[in-house]
Amino acid sequence: STIHSLVFFLHRSERRGIHVDQSELLCTKGCGFYGNAAWQGLCSKCWREEYQQTRHKQIQEDHALAERLQKEEEAAYANNHQGAAQPQPAIAPFSKFEERKTKEKSRKVNTMTKFFTPSAKTPPKKESVPGEALTTPSPSVSRKPLETDRTTREFIDFLKTLKPGREIFKQCRAFTESMAYKRDLGADELSECVQDFYQNLSDRLHTHFKGSSERVESVMDEVERYMMTRLYEEVFCPETTDDEKKDLAIQKRIRALHWVTIEMLCVPVDEEIPEVSDNVVKAITDVIEMDSKRVPRDKLTCITRCSKHIFNAINTTKKEAASADDFLPTLIYIVLKANPPRLQSNIQYITRFCNPSRLMSGEDGYYFTNLCCAVAFIEKLDGQSLNLSVEEFDLYMSGQASPQRPQAVPSPACSAAFSQMNESLDLLTGLGVRQERVMEGARRLESDLIDWRDGVEHKVQDVLERFPLEMHPPASPTASSAIDADNVENDHLPSPLQPQLFAG
């Protein structure tokens, strides 16, 4: 497959690094579309054809086996009842069973044969305003979370502008409600149901829009958003799969590879550059944010944004256009640093339920294929991939040793910066010593002030104890009216002199 050839090409490369030919990302059948590891290197179109052929072959084998067993049973029955007076009724021919099976199969295929025409069996309804059916969602929709209700309203508003919008909404709503009765099916069967619906609807839309691919894709994007928002809880990481087990395995694997350095992967990114570091952080954020989205297309958008930030980081570092040999190692490094939650479940969810045209071509398909390659490489990563011996790789994986970080040779600008930094550190150290001295003097002054206050209070108390204050009652008003009231001779004194005026 594509992934196996990628790993083999990496191991046999004479120089270190991860190198992949772009042809290895394409479908192994040579159709020109992007392949996928989950589809054994095939694109979604070729995979469905292979899957249907395999299933048809299995049905034929089951039919042949059942027919052979039927004949053996009839022969055994005839041998055991030879000579009986009353001949036993023959067992129902196998063609009846085959007919019932064919009817059951054709019932699924013909779900959209009357997509744009009203059914003749539908009883006439009362006249209604055009678009009235679109404004009344199913009662089951109201029980969905707020996001589902909002998506339904947006889908209805979008379909109001289309002539077949009412029929599209009816078919999508009927299909999503019918999926509630298929929870016991396996993930592949659920995916096949959704992909069949996509294919039938796309064919009808191409006929209606007369081959306008852009309009068909815009409608299919809204259909996917509406359907997968409603079906997300039922089809994401279903219990019938081992997706959760794979999630835990890849998370544990990435945690064990925490020691892998950017130099081991030959990643052409210099995180010392602020702009590059900012793009690396944004790429990590985007690939982690993928898990919070419910629609496959939105998850693909997160992968695309992450990849564009990676290209920006490479371009800034190299000051030239990045190549595919630069992109894939950097994507592996981002995945190792991010350790995205439920990584395998998200990849499987996109693979199973995304609009297949987005995975087959375009930048979304290219970046998603590279992400699948990156995850497969991480799962198969060994010492040879990182130019390490088996002993070194085992020691690092067990945590008994850690790789030494290479010491970078400082440039003149860095040397000047380091010198200035050392001078600043020395100055800060001196300021710290001086501050400590000032603080010590302040503490001594505070202690002296406390002792002085205590001494003053003690002396004041001692004086008060030695010379207590005596309080006398106030004198009466009459006794205190004359200054010399106690001198009895004052009454015999002459009257005071009066001033006299003399004429000049």
pTM for the predicted model, two decimal places: 0.61
Amino acid 344: pLDDT:
95
Mean pLDDT of the chain: 79
Which alpha helices (H) appear in 467-475, and where do they start and end? none
Dump pLDDT digits (tens) for 398-421.
988 888 766 555 556 667 788 888
Cα-trace Rg, the chain:
45
Residue 485 pLDDT grade (very low, low, confident, very high; cuts 50, 70, 90): low
For residue 102, give Cα distances in angstroms to 58, 106, 107, 421, 438. Answer: 15, 6, 9, 81, 97
Mean pLDDT calculated for residue range 230-243:
91
Residue 295 pLDDT grade (very low, low, confident, very high; cuts 50, 70, 90): very high
Task: Identify the CA nearest to 164 among candidates 214, 105, 219.
Answer: 219
Mean pLDDT calculated for residue range 370-398:
92
For residue 246, which phi and psi values (nearest 5 degrees)? -65, -35
Q: Does 9 have pLDDT greater than 80?
A: no
Residue 125 pLDDT grade (very low, low, confident, very high; cuts 50, 70, 90): very low
Q: How far apart are CA 159 and CA 356, in angstroms?
A: 22
Dump pLDDT digits (tens) for 438-448.
999 999 999 99
Domains, the chain, ranges and CATH? 162-235 (1.10.246.120), 249-398 (1.20.1050.80)
Task: Point out which residues pair with 42 in neighbouring strands.
Answer: 36
Q: Which of 65-74, 276-285, 323-332 has the lowest mean pLDDT?
A: 65-74
**Helix axes of 2-12 and 362-379: crossing angle, nearest 10 degrees:** 60
Mean pLDDT calculated for residue range 198-204:
92
Show the tokens assigned to 416.
């000047």
Q: How far apart are CA 419 and CA 414, in angstroms?
A: 9
Give CA angle at 301 (297, 304), nearest 5°: 135
Residue listed under structure tokens 């007369």: 210
Find all residues with CB under 8 Å of 367, minimum gap 6, and list them: 300, 303, 304, 306, 307
SS3 of residue 8 by DSSP: helix
Q: Does 270 have pLDDT greater than 90?
A: yes
Task: Point out which residues pair with 34 in neighbouring strands.
Answer: 26
Dump pLDDT digits (tens) for 345-356.
999 999 999 998
For residue 261, give Cα distances in angstroms to 36, 79, 256, 333. Answer: 28, 76, 13, 8
Q: Does 476 have pLDDT greater than 70?
A: no
Task: Identify the CA nearest to 53 among candidates 22, 29, 84, 80.
Answer: 29
State the maximum Cα–Cα separation within the chain, in Å, rounded to a whole number: 191
Task: Identify the CA nearest to 153 among candidates 135, 178, 166, 138.
Answer: 135
| Ordered DSSP codes for 341-410 | TTHHHHHHHHHHHS-HHHHHSHHHHHHHHHHHHHHHHHHT--TGGGT--HHHHHHHHHTS--PPPPPPPP
Q: Does 207 have pLDDT greater than 90?
A: no
Q: Does 324 have pLDDT greater than 80?
A: yes
Amino acid 409: pLDDT:
55
Length in residues, the chain: 504
Dump pLDDT digits (tens) for 85-120.
445 444 444 455 555 555 555 544 444 444 444 444
Q: Which of 211-215, 237-241, 330-334 has the lowest mean pLDDT?
A: 211-215
Residue 393 pLDDT grade (very low, low, confident, very high; cuts 50, 70, 90): very high
Show the tokens assigned to 128.
């209604």
Dump pLDDT digits (tens) for 422-459.
889 889 988 999 999 999 999 999 999 999 999 999 99
Amino acid 438: pLDDT:
94
Mean pLDDT calculated for residue range 175-182:
91
Q: How far apart are CA 453 and CA 450, in angstroms?
A: 5
Q: Does 132 have pLDDT greater than 50?
A: no
Mean pLDDT calculated for residue range 21-47:
61
Q: Which of 176-190, 362-376, 414-428 has the lowest mean pLDDT?
A: 414-428
